[in-house]
Chains A and B, each alone.
Chain A
């Protein structure tokens, strides 16, 4: 995978995905534009997280999970092609998980983890990158005096932003977020949402969320999934004000059955 100077777009074309024999995604076709926030909504089990985990091939870790048909192109490259180095792919496509998962180490070591992983030895360079990553994640001012304290002493929202900083430190081009705010209080959620808005200047962001207000607040485009199928994908404003599919309308009105 070549290093990408511009945040790339993601092209999913007629993709089918299965866990063993169970089909999880059916014929998904969607084009996610670069430098935008794209939200994926839908009821639990609709396949939105599965699709998200396809973009950095985290599904490779699940036995029996595979793309059965179709393709995903990121920046013009088919990511499931055997010649793609999945390690390099993941370096370019970072991921934030639903449950914040900082390592039980210091704040500094958490952010430096990815850098050391990829061979950085220079302490000054690492310190610089750690600071810029923490600044990008809007966490620097809160932790700059206790970089060497355990990351587990941070609040839930701070831990999640630390995880974002940790991902940003390896300089990805795309950031995938899997319900990043589902365990956070409204204030911490607001901070993450602000962060998402600023990050889209440099990154392509995809966020899976159960919170439709959140999707409408922060995203430029929204995709609605239901039972493994993409029902509707359009501008967030249009999808929430004037959905073209009755299923979407029922879901966002909360009259879903």
Chain B
């Protein structure tokens, strides 16, 4: 029989210090990561928040969100007052003070005005690519999870899709450039000189010309969609598999066809999962620079994407500004000075808020749908 007295420890328990040490080390590593993230956010909020938020009502600098991007002109007037004016205001100033001398004029590209162009450009790219990626991704996921026989070939296909997720985004950018910008077929009556191949269609003088979509919204959307497809397929397949087999059995046993079963008993219950995982993918689409550098993005654009179009469909073939690319331009293409900080940190701050809102939105949505759909 065990002696109860032997359970009372004398002194510290065995391995006490080692245990403590491991605990401290693991904790320190964790909090170090948190510290890095906190420093990053603190820096951006400290320098970026004053750009967006103002001390008077409406407390938000709507001009920064809603004005078009312009060149910033910095100069001194005759009284020695320093002015910072975006290009349009600068021109007005010149007209009003005709003949007045200007001293120390400097110009900073992209640093004046607001960032409405990049914001709507990113929105259009995100929406377009998500529509494409969801359509192709969900179709592929349904096939893989519901129809395909689980043989070695399908496992290889699945592995290939997973590997696609690991490809660097710049490779997708170059792929998009080579395929969507330069090579995909278009129907036109006037093929361009660099068309790879033209095939007559025998309808009027229309031809199928493999000349690509040029750098355009749709080329950018297609490239981003390719990049995000593996994520969507994997997440969708997981959501489909999470639907209990019993639902499928019950439906089939009642005389439903395979497609009826999927449409009524599988998709409705997996859709919340598919949508929330896709929302997480949105943040990635919105944030990528490399895939759109060669395929859709442009540093400066005077009009918003839908302005001055001959035809509404031209929106798809127009180039757009995009927030991540705008940030890249501000950081890499123009010299940093006290006059560019507003545009630089403001853009990063706005971008961060947008991405954070999307992430938070997906988390809230997921929590709500999970609470609603339980089995």
Contacts and interface: CB of A to CB of B under 8 A. Distances in A.
A122 to B, nearest CB: 19
Given A103-B247, A117-B264, A58 B257 contact: no
Interface in B217-259: 244, 246-257
Contact of A97 (B249, B256, B265): B249
B256 A87 contact: yes
Contact of B253 (A88, A95, A99): A95
B254 A101 contact: no
A113 B149 contact: no
Contacts of B250: 97, 101, 103, 163, 166
Contact of A87 (B255, B265, B373, B375): B255
Contacts of B249: 58, 61, 95, 97, 101
B260 interface: yes
Contacts of B264: 113, 117
A104 B374 contact: yes
A104 B269 contact: yes
B150 interface: yes
B255 A88 contact: yes
B265 A103 contact: yes
B257 A87 contact: yes
Contacts of B373: 104
A8 interface: no
Q: Which of A61, A90, A104, A118 has the most CB of B within 10 A?
A: A104
Interface in B237-292: 244, 246-257, 260, 264-265, 269
A58 B252 contact: yes
B247 A167 contact: no
A87 B249 CA distance: 13
Contact of A170 (B244, B254, B257): B254
Range, interface on chain B: 20 to 34
Interface in B291-308: none
A195 B373 CA distance: 30
Nearest to B246: A101
Contacts of A63: 149-150
A88 B253 CA distance: 10
Interface string A75-93: 0000000000001111100
A101 B255 contact: no
Contacts of B246: 97, 99, 101
B321 to A, nearest CB: 44
A88 B254 CA distance: 9
A170 B251 contact: no
A158 interface: no
Nearest to A100: B246
A104 B375 contact: yes
Given A58-B249, A101-B244, A94 B254 contact: yes
B250 to A, nearest CB: 5
A175 B94 CA distance: 90
B244 A91 contact: no
B247 A101 contact: yes
A56 interface: yes
A117 B375 contact: no
Given A63-B149, A99-B246, A113-B264, A90 B253 contact: yes
Contacts of A167: 253-254
A5 B166 CA distance: 60
A29 to B, nearest CB: 25
A114 interface: yes
A61 B265 CA distance: 16
Nearest to A98: B246
23 contacts: A61-B248, A90-B253, A91-B254, A91-B255, A94-B254, A99-B246, A101-B246, A101-B247, A101-B250, A103-B250, A103-B269, A104-B269, A113-B254, A113-B264, A114-B255, A114-B256, A117-B251, A152-B374, A152-B375, A163-B250, A166-B250, A166-B254, A167-B254
Which 7 pairs from chain A and chain B are nearest by CB?
A: A101-B246, A91-B255, A95-B253, A114-B254, A90-B255, A101-B250, A87-B255
Interface of B: 149-150, 244, 246-257, 260, 264-265, 269, 373-375
Interface of A: 56, 58, 61, 63, 87-91, 94-95, 97, 99, 101, 103-104, 113-114, 117-118, 152, 163, 166-167, 170
Given A114-B255, A152-B375, 5 more contacts: A101-B244, A101-B246, A103-B269, A113-B251, A117-B251
